[in-house]
Amino acid sequence: MDFSIGELARRTKVKVPTIRYYEQIGLLLPPPRTEGQQRRYDKNAIARLAFIKHARELGFDIEAIRALLSLQDNPDQSCSVADRIAKARLAEVEERIVSLNALRAELRRMVEECASGRVAECRVIETLADSSHGHGRLAET
């Protein structure tokens, strides 16, 4: 009925050190231990960790997830906070898509216009050297 951290890792596809990290920063409650100090989890832990994992996949940061978890733990509250967090994340994603589309356009122009010759006439290098236009902030990845 209860199982080790490695088993939890296998079932959730979250790595063992990551699980310990989540415990350390307070996203997961410290589970009971065996006499030899090894952690033992139950299925509630699976659900909570799956929640965290899904939230991370959607790009919520740890503080947002902390807030979302504490809402989940108090189901009688208004969900307006959760909605606000999700909307904020949506706005971030949309902004990011806009800026990545601009990057894509510029990168495409660079690679398409290059005649694959010497560096001296390479469009890639030329475009980079041309600082005459502006981007918003730095591209994150």
Partner DNA sequence: CTTGAACCTCTAGTCACTATAGAGAATACG
Partner DNA sequence: CGTATTCTCTATAGTGACTAGAGGTTCAAG
Angle between helices 43-57 and 62-73 (to 10 degrees): 140
Residue 7 touches DNA, criterion: CB under 7 A: yes
Residue 15 touches a copy of itself, criterion: CB under 8 A: no
Here's the x/- map for DNA, 82-121, by CB under 7 A: it reads as ----------------------------------------
Q: Are 9 and 16 in contact (CB under 8 A)?
A: yes
- The token pair that represents 43 in the structure block: 């299925």
CA gyration radius, the chain: 23
Residue 108 touches a copy of itself, criterion: CB under 8 A: yes
- The token pair that represents 60 in the structure block: 């919520």
| Minimum CB distance to a copy of itself smaller for 25 or for 128 | 128
Residues 41-100 that bind Zn ion (CB under 5 A): 79, 83
